[in-house]
Amino acid sequence: MASYLDMELLRFTTAGSVDDGKSTLIGRLLYDSKSIFEDQLEAVKVASERMGNKEFNLALLTDGLRAEREQGITIDVAYRYFATPKRKFIIADTPGHIEYTRNMVTGASTADAAIILVDARNGIVEQTRRHSCIASLLQLPDIVVAINKMDLVDFSKRIFEKIQVEYGEVAKKLGLKRVYYIPISARDGDNVVNSSERMPWFKGRPLLELLEELPVGGESRAAAGRFPVQYVIRPQKDEYHDYRAYAGRIAGGNFKVGDHITVLPSGSTSVITGIEEMGVELECAWAPESVAIRLKDDIDISRGDMIVKNDELPCISSEVSLLVCWLNHRPLRTGSKYIIRHTTNELIGIVKEIQFKVDVNTLDEVPGSVEVHMNDIARIRLKTAKPLKYDRYAENRTTGSLVLIDEATFETVGAGMII
Amino acid sequence: MGYGMNHLRELESESVYVIREVAAQFEKPGLLFSGGKDSIVMAWLAQKAFYPASIPFPFVHIDTGHNFEETIQYRDDLIKRMGVRLIVGSVQESIDKGRVAEEHGFNASRNKLQTVTLLDTIEQYRFDALLGGARRDEEKARAKERFFSHRDEFGQWDPKNQRPELWNLFNGKKHLGEHFRIFPLSNWTEMDVWQYILTEGIDLPNLYYTHEREVFERDGIWLAYYPFMKLKEGEKVIKKRVRCRTIGDITCTGLTVSEAYKVEDIVGEIAASRETERGGRRDDKRSEASMEDRKKEGYF
């Protein structure tokens, strides 16, 4: 019981097409970790029969909306939850059809790791490369390559090793940091929760065990101290007459009482006199905790400002280069104005130049392309009305990311990673 | 457990971030308070988000008139303790004004009627954002719900036209008449909520703990008996020791036969449970896609 109250949280995304057995794998993880309840099973049984499935279809556990069930496809990112005694997991389940890029970028933006599914019969295909490119662009620290349908290739060690070598080339080219390989059969459960007796040659851990042990949150804790001010707390109460605290979620590293800080963009400096986490006084707080910080000096600070440590200043510029994934039917255009949301800041930006489009299957530059459509990834130059206080996305996924919002429709149309 | 962050702290931090974002991005937010455990946890998080200041928005309760009296008592105590304003939208009033018609028959419920009262209340008070305690793990139509869920000027949800949500960047931009439903507990599971209640020592209405009550069985679900409910032939009212796993309208809240006296017992009971908490909700059983349909109309 005590251990249940003290688990870590791992967010991961799953990439693969319907044919790779992605839904079956997720169904398997939920089913084997006993996260499926009887009434849900009953509903799936009924649905399986109605759709003419003779076998109980694990994939149906994750099909959400009626429109999707009718068409047999997944139209959006869905979030799934399960827990083992060691960890709580959040799966961003992204669909495998045409709008894939935009959905996978969305799912991967909050993930710590990606599971990339490969059909053992087909090996590395174009889609595998695309998924890997996106995982690399989004800077996911851990990649698990699950080589599925091993039952259909006679649990062949040779095939597993061949795919491993092939993927090694992809990983090297993309600069993926940590890659793990597991031969599985999602349908039968081999190497998913338990080690497979049918593949005694595989000495690694089964998938769930690996997921329980992947490191979480190390990158953001190791980053430079960043505190985007979200909200200013000023109680209208007599006993808190002079109280003023700056609320926000730490976006990188840590802050301690006594730290010398700089407030950007004003450049004013002060010292942290208190860190409060919802009524509890702390000596030190780490990313991604939501806290309220009090300062020694009474300086003018508002939402959108950023508190940083004196010796760890971020980049400040009103012109940045970024990789943008386009999310909307209306294409991106040079000279267009967009509302930019970056940390807690909102400002106007203008696209100065579309530098080149990126081939999502190779990450190579596509020469001579200027039109950026939905699901495209491009490198652009953006000028903002006021300077951005940022880090490169590779250094900090929170202070290095932004979204573009259409001025007329207010839709979120682009996702940007600052280079 | 290394120096990593505990899952409950991380969920808490995320929810507090979302709640603060609402206070910063919207002009007239409100917190939908039903008296159920999820909205109680949300109220608790809202209090933490602005401490030591008061919560800068009112609570909104859509009262079906068929609430357990314990819920109303708890609500009134909490409002007083937290020092927030309460706005009540009354389904009875909507019926009296002819805005909706009362359902009849054995399965009559005011649960569906709430949607009209809710949308009327939003219009009357010009709310531009309403915080709700819904979680993505509750029901399959909710697995794709956003933290910031956009509603058109008719209050409707279009599942095919939701804004992508990336990183922790929430887009609350809207046109006149549109509003947002905000779900700070999106990433919590039922187990997380109970574990959090346990670790924080949050006080709950007694309904959640075992108590003796007059009940009757219908379609394998135990329901609380009140005089306004029609019994079918063969249905007998008996006394049983039960508790609520979720709390909604009396007519559709299934009761669990239980001996759980404290939160620890409930956490153990849920860990061993083989049914989802909504398994006892009659409103979800009307058809396979019933939650999706109600959400499109503007339900919670």
Name the burial class of residue A307, with classes exposed (0-12), middle (13-18) and buried (19+) by CB atoms within 10 angstroms of its CB.
buried
CB-based contact A227:A307 (threshold 8 Å): yes
Residue B114's contacts (CB-CB under 8 Å, 6 or more residues apart) are B62, B64, B91, B249, B299, B300
Closest CA to A26 of A102, A77, A86: A77
Chain B residues with CB-CB distance to A40 below 8 A: 276
Helices B190-200, B7-25: crossing angle, 10 deg rounding: 90
User: Is pLDDT larger for residue A43 or for residue B58?
Assistant: B58
* Residues of chain B neighbouring A278 (CB-CB closer than 8 A): 12, 16, 48-49, 51
CB-based contact B166 A403, cutoff 8 Å: yes
pLDDT value for A1: 44
C-alpha–C-alpha distance, residues A403 and A416, integer Å: 6
Rounded to two decimals, the pTM is 0.90
Q: What CATH number was assigned to the domain covering residues B7-192+289-297?
A: 3.40.50.620
Tokens linked to A270: 């002060």
Contact criterion met (CB below 8 Å) for B235 and B202: no
pLDDT in tens, chain A (419 residues): 445 667 889 999 988 766 778 888 988 888 877 776 666 666 666 666 666 665 666 666 665 555 555 555 456 788 889 888 889 999 998 876 656 788 889 999 999 999 999 999 999 988 888 889 999 999 999 999 999 999 999 999 999 999 999 999 999 999 998 999 999 999 899 999 989 999 999 999 999 999 999 988 888 889 999 999 999 999 988 888 889 999 999 999 999 999 999 999 999 999 999 999 888 999 999 999 999 999 999 999 999 999 999 999 999 999 999 999 999 999 998 999 999 999 999 999 999 999 999 988 888 888 776 789 988 999 999 999 999 999 999 999 999 999 999 999 999 999 999 99
- Nearest-angstrom CA–CA distance, A15 and A117: 6
- Record: contact A37-B292, CB cut-off 8 A: no
In this complex, the residue of A37, A43, A235 whose CB is nearest that of residue B274 is A37
Q: What residue spans in chain A does CATH classification 2.40.30.10 cover?
A: 221-309, 315-418
Structure-token pair, residue B218: 């219908």
CA angle, residues A401, A406, A408, in degrees to nearest 5: 160
Minimal CA separation from A369 to chain B, in Å: 25
Decide if A110 and B23 are in contact by the 8 Å CB cutoff: no
CA–CA distance, A188 with B83 (Å, rounded to integer): 56
Task: Show contacts of A186-190: CB within 8 Å, 24+ apart.
Answer: A186/A21, A186/A24, A186/A25, A186/A27, A186/A28, A186/A58, A186/A146, A186/A148, A186/A149, A187/A21, A187/A24, A187/A28, A187/A58, A187/A149, A187/A151, A188/A151, A189/A28, A189/A32, A190/A150, A190/A151, A190/A155
Distance CA A256, CA A285 (A): 7
In this structure, CATH architecture of domain A3-216: 3-Layer(aba) Sandwich (3.40)
Cα separations (Å) of B242 from A172, B211, B254? 60, 6, 10
Contact B49, B19 (CB under 8 A): yes
8 Å CB contact of A77 and B268: no
Give the closest residue to B292 by CA, choosing from A190, A356, A69. A69
Tell the CATH superfamily of the A221-309 domain: Translation factors (2.40.30.10)
Q: What is the CA radius of gyration of chain A?
A: 24
Residue B47's pLDDT is: 96
Query: B98 CA to chain A: closest CA distance, Å?
Result: 32
Q: Where in chain A is the domain with CATH 3.40.50.300?
A: 3-216
CATH class of the region A315-418: mainly beta
Phi, psi of A27 (to 5 degrees): -55, -40
| Helix or strand (DSSP H, E) at B131 | strand B129-131
Residues A287 and A221 sit within 8 Å (Cβ to Cβ)? yes
pLDDT bin (cut points 50, 70, 90) of residue B2 is very low
Domain residue ranges in chain B: 7-192+289-297, 203-283
CB atoms within 10 A of CB B43: 23
Q: Which residues of B touch A285 (CB under 8 A)?
A: none
| Separation of alpha carbons B51 and B16, rounded Å | 11
Helix axes B190-200, B263-272, angle to 10 degrees: 160
Do the Cβ atoms of A9 and B5 come within 8 Å? yes
- Provide the token pair at A389: 């206080």
Cβ within 8 Å, pair B7-A412: no
Query: Which residues in A lie closer than 8 A to residue B9 (C-beta atoms)?
Result: 289
CB A9 within 8 A of CB B11: yes
Q: Three-state DSSP class for B40?
A: helix
CA distances from A82 to A33, A200, A211, B273 (A): 7, 28, 12, 14
Judged by CB atoms closer than 8 Å, whether chains meet at A81 and B8 is answered as no
What is the torsional sign of CA A152, A158, A164, A169? negative
* CA R_g for chain B: 19
β-strand pairing of A345-358 with A365-366 = antiparallel
What distance in Å separates residue A244's CA from the closest CA in chain B? 10
List the structure tokens of B28. 């007239």
Query: Alpha-carbon distance B271 to A412, whole Å?
Result: 39
